Amino acid sequence: MRVGVMGGTFDPIHHGHLVAASEAASRFDLDEVVFVPTGQPWQKSKTDVTPAEDRYLMTVVATASNPRFTVSRVDVDRVGPTYTVDTLHDLAAIFPDDELFFITGADALEQILSWHRADEMFRIAHFVGVTRPGFELVSDHLPKGAVSLIEVPAMAISSTDCRTRVGKGEPVWYLVPDGVVQYIAKRGLYRDGRPPSRLEHLG
Ligand SMILES: Nc1ncnc2c1ncn2[C@@H]1O[C@H](COP(=O)(O)OP(=O)(O)OP(=O)(O)O)[C@@H](O)[C@H]1O
Ligand SMILES: O=C(O)c1ccc[n+]([C@@H]2O[C@H](COP(=O)([O-])O)[C@@H](O)[C@H]2O)c1
């Protein structure tokens, strides 16, 4: 099998993520794309990130209708900062006979050499870099043959912009899947100055 891996903080997941995964699946003939929400994204400011359980549930809601999309808890359940090298080792153990393709946007690809044990990552998975409005998609800085670059429909959407919109009372309809709009409202996420309520009672 050929398995795609779409890692992200997904705070919240939006149509830019979903289109990137869908296009990579189509171009690389992937049988499955596993979305992997981060546990503790160490390169993002800790206080600003929504609890992992909310980000995980939004990812489940957003991907539920696509039979080839699944969601993994490996990063959410691992203690400590999230490193993609660990994500890939965990997924290689779950899919021992399969080829892994790690999907990243142009912005993430630009930074990739700053990731923990970057060289090792390229030995476990093939990397697929996708275009993203506002960023240049290049791979000259990366090991030869380790990365393929593909153009995907331009979605000028970011999670930061979605959070800002909700904070200002502006709509995020059609930027994120309908179920995610409803989840954000139900949980009161991203409203200025109000932390989300605790999720423990949901078990
Ligand atoms: N609109 C987009 N088009 C293509 N790729 C994207 C897009 N948005 C995010 N990605 C890619 O998806 C992955 C996860 O991104 P992430 O969850 O950090 O979303 P984000 O919108 O960049 O969030 P934030 O605004 O909070 O930094 C990264 O590889 C990123 O490059
Ligand atoms: O491995 C690392 O050191 C590393 C550093 C920054 C980001 N990443 C991964 O890159 C993906 C996108 O991350 P982010 O922070 O842009 O949401 C996600 O899967 C992260 O775990 C990984």
- ipTM of the shown complex: 0.98
Spatial neighbors of 188 by CB under 8 A, at least 6 apart, are 194, 196, 197
**Of 181, 184, 175, 178, nearest to 19 (Cα)?**
175
pLDDT at 46: 63
pLDDT at 44: 81
pLDDT band at 196 (very low <50, low <70, confident <90, very high): low
- The answer, yes or no, to whether residue 201 has pLDDT greater than 60, is no
- The answer, yes or no, to whether residue 14 has pLDDT greater than 80, is yes
Spatial neighbors of 10 by CB under 8 A, at least 6 apart, are 17, 35, 37, 38, 55, 58, 59, 159
Whether ligand 1 lies within 6 angstroms of the CB of 21 is answered as: no
Burial class (CB in 10 A: 0-12, 13-18, 19+), 99: middle
From the CA of 48, the nearest ligand is: 1
**Of 166, 163, 160, 155, nearest to 131 (Cα)?**
155
Q: What is the pLDDT of residues 150-187, one digit of tens each?
A: 999 999 999 999 999 999 999 999 999 999 999 999 99
The overall average pLDDT reported for the chain is 94
Kindly report the CA angle at 157 between 162 and 77, in degrees rounded to 5?
A: 65
Whole-prediction pTM value? Answer: 0.96
Ligand 1 centroid–CA 193 distance in Å is 24
Whether ligand 2 lies within 6 angstroms of the CB of 41 is answered as: yes
Q: Do 7 and 38 touch, CB atoms closer than 8 A?
A: yes
Whether ligand 2 lies within 6 angstroms of the CB of 83 is answered as: yes
Q: Which atom of ligand 1 is nearest to the CA of 104?
A: 29
Whether ligand 1 lies within 6 angstroms of the CB of 82 is answered as: no
Whether ligand 1 lies within 6 angstroms of the CB of 104 is answered as: yes
pLDDT band at 43 (very low <50, low <70, confident <90, very high): confident
Q: Which atom of ligand 2 is nearest to the CA of 9?
A: 17
pLDDT at 75: 98
- The answer, yes or no, to whether residue 106 has pLDDT greater than 90, is yes
Instruction: Outline where the chain has alpha helix (H).
Output: 15-28, 52-63, 74-77, 84-94, 106-111, 118-124, 159-167, 178-187
Tokens of 22: 């869908």
pLDDT at 48: 82
Across residues 12-17, what is the average pLDDT? 98
pLDDT at 177: 98
**C-alpha dihedral sign at 51, 33, 203, 93:** negative
Please report which helix (H) or strand (E) contains residue 70, including its range.
Answer: strand 69-71
- The answer, yes or no, to whether residue 81 has pLDDT greater than 70, is yes
pLDDT band at 203 (very low <50, low <70, confident <90, very high): very low
Mean pLDDT lowest for which of 90-94, 108-112, 165-169, 188-192?
A: 188-192
Determine the CATH number of domain 2-155.
3.40.50.620
pLDDT at 200: 53
Across residues 47-69, what is the average pLDDT? 95
